[in-house]
């Protein structure tokens, strides 16, 4: 394709056929673009030039129509919905994507300048050839039909001067080559046409002289001297005078071919580009003042290529340039030959769980294909009763392995603060492996709560503990950096820099948007008034300049989210794809939208989409969401979560029924895909959309949400949902749903979900009432086990134990292993008193003999580890610890990992490994901190106190323990606080607290440990009664002391029995217990506790 701007503008295609380029203004648009091939011409400049600074309100739409017509003319065979390749949209306007040599003005300029440079170097033949080609390109006056346009005038003036200089250079080259005679006639004509160009007169004189016409040469000199003197009153210039002297003196240098003696005046390079638009170094809006951060990114990429990857968090406020830095990192990674994959986190647009990771795996191609299938639910789902934790671990592992296989690679997770909980958990999992892999994850994040604040907080906390994880913070620009930013745009006004820094706070995005707005309004100076105060106002004013049909489509796009599928936009707006693309052209040209692979469009920044969406108002937004949801239903492959999102937003505009339908589907899909937090969210949304209508359905939804909340550890939320479900089900006679609701907390668990010491009388009454009705064995077994748990903290605990045992017998009769495992689990917790150690261990062993999923096995092994530790079976305990650790890592649920670490801490303290036990305490406390259970810091405090006591450092912790023990929910900590006060030397305080708190020692799961603690107190204070405590502990002397299921181990029970016997005056009995304790400690290799018993034994022997 060839573009001819000399004479009337012409365009020919590859076959030489003329292209019809339309109306005068349309031709003017193409001409302006052709003057700068391969470079963007801004929308504002095109409008200003076309309408001479007086553009009508419809100017943008009219220009858009011109561009559309030109595209059809330039690419007549372009298929629908295919991006143009010749006239393309690029912020902040349009670009003619052709080679410079395809434009005759550019060819002329290049040949003329090449010839001039060759002449300067003395390469006369090459110069003559280039200059002849340049002059032959000139087929008429440049831009002849655009003489009235301001853009044409400087171009024409520069080209005219360049042609004159090229002509002079061509004749000089010919004279140097000995072609004097043929030059004379043309030079005679040229001096007539351009009488004041002295260089032409010089060339004529030289041509005449070398042609043997010395008299004519002298005559020409007299003519030019007379012309200059008579018409201008001037003497000839220095060059012409030197030539005159040489002719008069018949200089031998004049007579033979060769270089001309009189060098041409140096001419500045002339281009066909209008003033003020010469090429200059590209300024990247977001990378001013980012040298330090870019250096760190480059260093991390280099480390990743050597197999040491990890996670790099790029943090900063919205618009500070995080994504720009990520783009620069991606460019650098690609240049280094690394694979690059992007995943953008969606802000509440109904994107499915794991959304950013799905995008990443698609970008990774074959390396990510298997993991992509698994993550998107394409692989077989888990079977009913399958372990969701194990499935989640496998899923995480497959994705992490895909990342490793793709290395060396850079993975960008943009806007991590909007990530769904499942994506955040996957990042935390992967981070544990990436530090030894050739993969760097760069995640951008704002300092705000985000889409799932709790999970985001937990993930960020987890990342701080991982090797290879690092945070890089981007600050706003300083005033000096704003000035540098403006200087890069030819705006060196320091007063303007100060004003814009004050208004924008140095935020790069706001700064860039404000400059665009003020530039389009021709107010880029410090005296400008009415500068908008906020980025939304800036964007609003920029949008207001767009055609109405463009604004309407942008609003619909804002409803779809930051990433906009053309299919979705077409369906939602009822506009065909070609028309939609046409209408969005101005938005792309002005930088509000960008064309994106994978998605047809993307808002250039989240703040642009936010500003547009905020401007809709609630009613219009709801209507647009309803229209969008209904349209998307007709498209294949749209996620249920996306449809649910739109119908939820339109619930009050007629979308409530479909909101419930799709939210339920989204919740089930989320749970099936191991996205448990998202399942909780969607069950909640379904309930919100349903409202009080349809009580039966609401009841069922409440049960599902209660189950999901329990699974993620939100006990309070689960109980609230289930309590409502129970009330509804009872009121409408939905017995099956009622049983489901009341037994949710009887499912497999490592602990009793009731707050310590609490008995819910209403639940007990309800369970007992249900058990009086006709039931099948499975329903009855489930209810009996749950009732056994509910009675645990009541005076009827023993009755609850028997009921749970009845549940086990019924479960065995059904032959259902899942029901039996659940019932045995219920029994173990309902029978948790010191005298049931053997029965509970047999129940645990029976559980382990069943075909359990990973969660069930982990629960059973945590229980078994406590039994093994109390029995001193350390070899078996070590094997169970290893197995339990593997299971916990597979399950990757905080409650299970936390419980496994609590169980391990008991063994570490038993062996005196204080440092590792304290590390475990910190870890498991953090893991369970997000649950809404009682006393989540209790196990950690027990571990910490045990460690500090073993090191003689209780004084560091005593005040904290005493203070916390005063809280109503911390009854089990009170014995420890009293002993800590004694250890710290405050006997008076210890005695006061012992007298206040030792009145009742409950017979529950805490007793095995707390009776021992009270025993140490009683041995020293006499309070509580040492004899009573001795009698209570004596049957269990052969056991080691363990706190509940773990957390702390305190050696042999004989140790405290020895102290109690001594306190009651039974020195011989105390000696026998001390010897037994010491023998046990030595036999089991418990060095710390052997030291304790050894010192006691030495004192008694003495």
Q: How far apart are CA 1043 and CA 941, in angstroms?
A: 12
Fold exhibited by the domain 842-1101: 1.25.40
Quote the Cα angle for 810-815-820, to 5°.
60
Q: Dihedral sign, CA of 992, 993, 994, 997? A: positive
Residues of the chain with pLDDT under 50: 261-286, 379-386, 526-531
Q: What is the CATH number of domain 285-473?
A: 3.40.50.300
pLDDT value of residue 258: 53
Supply the pLDDT for residue 380: 39
| Domain 181-257 sits in CATH 1.25.40.10 | yes
C-beta of residue 547 within 8 angstroms of C-beta of residue 58: yes
pLDDT of residue 265: 39
Dist CA 577 CA 184 (whole Å): 64
CATH 1.25.40.10 domain span(s) along the chain: 181-257, 842-1101
The single residue listed with the structure tokens 């064309």 is: 595
**In this structure, how many other beta carbons lie within 10 angstroms of the beta carbon of residue 1014?**
30
Residue that the structure tokens 């030397």 belong to? 985
List helix spans (H) across 415-560: 421-434, 453-464, 479-487, 494-504, 508-520, 535-544, 548-560
* Structure confidence at residue 562 (pLDDT): 83
Q: For residues 1073 and 1093, what is the distance between their CA atoms, to the nearest angstrom? A: 10
Contacts of 1037 (CB under 8 A, 6+ apart): 1052, 1053, 1054, 1057, 1073, 1076
Give the dihedral sign, CA 388/389/394/398.
positive
Interatomic CA distance for residues 663 and 674, integer angstroms: 16
DSSP conformation class of 932: -
Q: Which residue has the tokens 């906009």?
A: 564
Residue 471 backbone dihedrals phi, psi, to 5 degrees: -115, 135
Q: For residue 847, what pLDDT is reported?
A: 96
Of the candidates 228, 195, 189, 232, the residue with the CA atom closest to the CA atom of residue 207: 189
With tokens 């989409």, the residue in question is 609
pLDDT tens-digit series, residues 907-948 = 999 999 999 999 999 988 887 776 656 678 899 999 999 999
pTM (whole model) above 0.85 = no
CATH code of domain 2-102:
1.10.10.10
Buried-state track 891-923, b at ≥16 Cβ within 10 A, e below 16: bbbbbbbbbbbbbbbbbbbbbbbbeebbebbeb
Pick the CATH number of 620-691 from 1.25.40, 3.30.70, 1.10.12, 1.10.3470: 1.25.40
Angle formed by the axes of helices 421-434 and 355-363, to 10°? 50
Tokens of 535: 């980025």
Our CA dihedral for 428, 433, 435, 438, rounded to 10 degrees, sits at -120
pLDDT at residue 676, rounded to an integer: 79
Neighbours of 807 (CB within 10 A): 29
- In the chain, CATH 1.10.10.10 sits at 2-102
């Amino acid at each position: 394709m060839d573009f001819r701007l000399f004479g009337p503008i012409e365009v020919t295609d590859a076959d030489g056929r003329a292209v019809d380029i339309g109306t005068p203004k349309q031709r003017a648009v193409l001409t302006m673009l052709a003057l700068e091939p391969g470079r963007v011409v801004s929308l504002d400049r095109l409008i200003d030039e076309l309408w001479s600074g007086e553009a009508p309100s419809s100017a943008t739409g009219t220009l858009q129509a011109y561009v559309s017509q030109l595209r059809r003319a330039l690419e007549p065979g372009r298929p629908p919905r295919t991006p143009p390749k010749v006239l393309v949209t690029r912020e902040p306007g349009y670009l003619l994507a052709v080679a410079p040599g395809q434009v005759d003005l550019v060819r002329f300029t290049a040949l003329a300048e090449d010839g001039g440079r060759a002449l300067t170097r003395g390469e006369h033949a090459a110069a003559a050839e280039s200059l002849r080609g340049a002059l032959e390109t000139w087929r008429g006056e440049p831009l002849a039909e655009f003489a009235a346009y301001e853009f044409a005038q400087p171009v024409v003036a520069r080209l005219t001067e360049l042609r004159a200089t090229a002509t002079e250079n061509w004749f000089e080259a010919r004279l140097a080559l000995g072609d004097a005679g043929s030059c004379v006639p043309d030079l005679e004509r040229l001096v007539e046409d351009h009488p004041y160009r002295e260089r032409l007169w010089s060339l004529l004189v030289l041509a005449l002289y070398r042609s043997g016409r010395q008299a004519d040469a002298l005559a020409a000199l007299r003519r030019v001297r007379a012309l200059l003197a008579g018409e201008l009153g001037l003497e000839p210039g220095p060059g012409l005078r030197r030539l005159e002297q040489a002719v008069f003196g018949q200089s031998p240098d004049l007579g033979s071919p060769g270089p001309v003696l009189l060098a041409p005046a140096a001419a500045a390079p002339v281009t066909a580009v209008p003033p003020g638009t010469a090429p200059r170094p590209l300024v990247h809006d977001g990378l001013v003042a980012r040298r330090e951060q870019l250096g760190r990114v480059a260093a991390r990429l280099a480390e990743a290529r050597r197999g040491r990857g990890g996670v790099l968090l790029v943090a900063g406020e919205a618009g500070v340039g995080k994504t720009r830095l990520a783009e620069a990192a991606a460019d650098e990674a690609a240049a280094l030959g690394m694979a690059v994959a992007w995943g953008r986190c969606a802000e509440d647009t109904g994107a499915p769980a794991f959304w950013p990771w799905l995008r990443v795996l698609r970008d990774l191609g074959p390396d990510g294909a298997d993991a992509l299938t698994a993550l998107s639910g394409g692989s077989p789902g888990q079977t009913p009763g399958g372990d969701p934790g194990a499935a989640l671990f496998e899923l995480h592992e497959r994705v992490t392995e895909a990342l490793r296989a793709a290395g060396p690679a850079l993975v960008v997770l943009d806007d991590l603060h909007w990530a769904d909980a499942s994506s955040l958990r996957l990042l935390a999992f992967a981070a544990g492996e990436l530090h030894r892999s050739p993969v760097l994850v760069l995640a951008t994040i704002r300092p705000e709560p985000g889409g799932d604040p709790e999970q985001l907080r937990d993930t960020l906390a987890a990342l701080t503990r991982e090797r290879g994880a690092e945070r890089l913070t981007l600050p706003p620009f300083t005033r000096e950096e704003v000035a540098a930013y403006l200087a890069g745009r030819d705006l060196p006004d320091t007063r303007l820099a100060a004003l814009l820094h004050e208004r924008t706070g140095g935020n790069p995005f706001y700064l860039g948007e404000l400059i665009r707005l003020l530039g389009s309004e021709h107010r880029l100076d410090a005296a400008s008034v009415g500068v908008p105060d906020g980025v939304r106002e800036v964007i609003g004013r920029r949008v207001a300049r767009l055609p109405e049909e463009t604004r309407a489509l942008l609003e619909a796009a804002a409803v779809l989210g930051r990433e906009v599928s053309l299919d979705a936009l077409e369906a939602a707006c009822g506009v065909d794809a070609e028309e939609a693309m046409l209408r969005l052209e101005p938005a792309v040209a002005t930088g509000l939208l960008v064309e994106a692979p994978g998605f047809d469009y993307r808002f250039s920044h989240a703040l642009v989409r936010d500003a547009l969406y905020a401007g809709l108002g609630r009613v219009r937004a709801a209507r647009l969401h309803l229209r969008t949801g209904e349209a998307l239903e007709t498209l294949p492959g749209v996620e249920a979560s996306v449809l649910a999102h739109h119908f939820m937003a339109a619930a009050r505009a007629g979308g409530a029924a479909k909101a419930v339908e799709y939210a339920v589907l989204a919740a089930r899909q989320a749970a099936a895909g191991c996205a448990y937090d998202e399942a909780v969210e969607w069950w909640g949304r379904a309930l919100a959309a349903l409202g009080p209508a349809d009580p039966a359905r609401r009841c069922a939804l409440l049960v599902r949400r209660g189950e999901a909340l329990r699974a993620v550890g939100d006990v309070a939320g689960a109980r609230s949902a289930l309590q409502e479900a129970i009330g509804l089900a009872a009121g409408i006679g939905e017995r099956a749903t009622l049983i489901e609701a009341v037994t949710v907390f009887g499912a497999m668990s490592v602990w009793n979900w009731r707050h310590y010491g609490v008995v819910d009388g209403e639940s007990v009454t309800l369970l007992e009432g249900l058990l009086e009705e006709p039931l099948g064995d499975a329903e009855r077994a489930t209810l009996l086990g749950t009732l056994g748990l509910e009675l645990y903290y009541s005076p009827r605990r023993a009755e609850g134990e028997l009921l749970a045992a009845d549940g086990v017998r019924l479960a065995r009769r059904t032959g259902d292993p899942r029901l039996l495992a659940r019932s045995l689990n219920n029994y173990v917790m309902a029978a948790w008193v010191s005298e049931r150690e053997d029965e509970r261990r047999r129940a645990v062993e029976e559980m382990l003999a069943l075909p359990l999923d990973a969660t069930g096995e982990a629960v059973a092994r945590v229980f078994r580890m406590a039994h093994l530790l109390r029995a001193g079976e350390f070899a078996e305990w070590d094997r169970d610890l290893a197995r339990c650790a593997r299971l916990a890592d597979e399950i990757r649920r905080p409650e299970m990992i936390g419980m496994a670490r609590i169980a391990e801490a008991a063994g570490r303290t038993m062996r005196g490994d204080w440092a590792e036990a304290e590390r475990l305490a910190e870890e498991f406390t953090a893991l369970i901190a997000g649950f809404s259970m009682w006393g989540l810091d209790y196990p950690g405090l027990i571990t910490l106190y045990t460690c500090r006591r073993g090191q003689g450092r209780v004084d560091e912790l005593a005040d904290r323990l005493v203070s916390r023990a005063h809280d109503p929910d911390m009854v089990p900590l009170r014995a420890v606080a009293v002993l800590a006060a004694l250890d710290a030397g405050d006997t008076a305080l210890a005695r006061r607290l012992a007298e206040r708190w030792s009145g009742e020692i409950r017979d529950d799961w805490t007793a095995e440990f707390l009776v021992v603690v009270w025993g140490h107190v009683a041995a020293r204070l006499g309070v509580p009664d040492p004899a009573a405590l001795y009698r209570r502990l004596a049957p269990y002397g052969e056991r080691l002391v363990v706190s509940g299921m773990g957390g702390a181990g305190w050696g042999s029970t004989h140790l405290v029995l020895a102290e109690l016997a001594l306190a009651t005056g039974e020195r011989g009995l105390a000696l026998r217990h001390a010897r037994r304790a010491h023998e046990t400690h030595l036999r089991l290799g418990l060095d710390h506790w052997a030291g304790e018993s050894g010192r006691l034994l030495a004192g008694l022997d003495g």
